[in-house]
Structures are given as C-alpha cells and as structure tokens.
Amino acid sequence: RKEHRGVGGIFFDDLEFETEDGVSRVEEFLYGVARGWLPSYTAIAERRKESAYGEKEREWQLLRRGRYAEFNLVYDRGVRFGLLSNGRIESIMVSAPPLVSWKYNHVPDPGSKEEEMLEILRTPRDW
C-alpha cells in the first residue's frame, strides 16, 4: 500500500542505548518518555476536544484500525513469528483492535482531512 501505520512511535525492537562501558540506557530513556507523555497528550487533547466526531470520523477510524491489523498480520515480526511457530492465536491477536473495517480500494474525498492524513502516511517524515 506504500503507506506507514502512523506518524511516530517508539519501536522497542530497535532500541539500543549502550554507553562505552556497556551500561544500558533504555530504562533512562523510557522514564524520559513517560515524564513527557502526559503533558504532550494533555495539550493535544485540549486542542482537539471541540473537534467534530461523528459517523464519518468513526468510519475513518475503523478503516485505519483495519490497516493497523493488516500491517500486523502481514509484516509485524512478532505477530508473524507467533503465527508461524504455532503460537496461541489468542495471545498473538490480543493486541488487535476489537473493531475494524475494510473497504475495497477506499479513496478519501479530495481535499478532506482523510486525504491529507494519507498523504502524510505516504510521505513519512524523519523525526
């Protein structure tokens, strides 16, 4: 599909924070993330609290959740490993969203917020 799952995130599989003396700095990094999360999220929630949310936005949310589930089933290393090694399906799928939607060849309306989001997902930014 040539689109990313989202616009940011921490991929824990790839964390490598060791000093020259071999001491891991992952815990220090995670505490820093935790301290910054609430103020960041609160500011976003405050800014967005009056945004419209109705059936159209819910439909888009379910489509994006479907893409997330699709990515995990096709590409995610952990999910693929679990499925290929006869892991417990319930344990593997527990992280999947409870409700998703798929539409064949869905194209958002031109100029819509959804089209803008897809453009961002198709041209990722190096944070």
- Listed in sequence order, the DSSP H helices in the chain are 26-48, 55-74, 77-84, 89-93, 113-122
- Structure letter (DSSP) for residue 12: G
CB–CB of 19/26 below 8 Å? no
Residue 120 has pLDDT above 70, yes or no: yes
Mean pLDDT rounded to a whole number for the chain: 88
- pTM of the predicted protein model: 0.76
Cross-strand partners of 24 = 18
5 compared with 110, residue with greater pLDDT: 110
Residues 60, 62, 63, 67, Cα dihedral to 10°: 130
> Which tens digits make up the pLDDT trace of 2-15?
888 887 777 777 77
Q: What is the mean pLDDT of residues 115-120?
A: 93
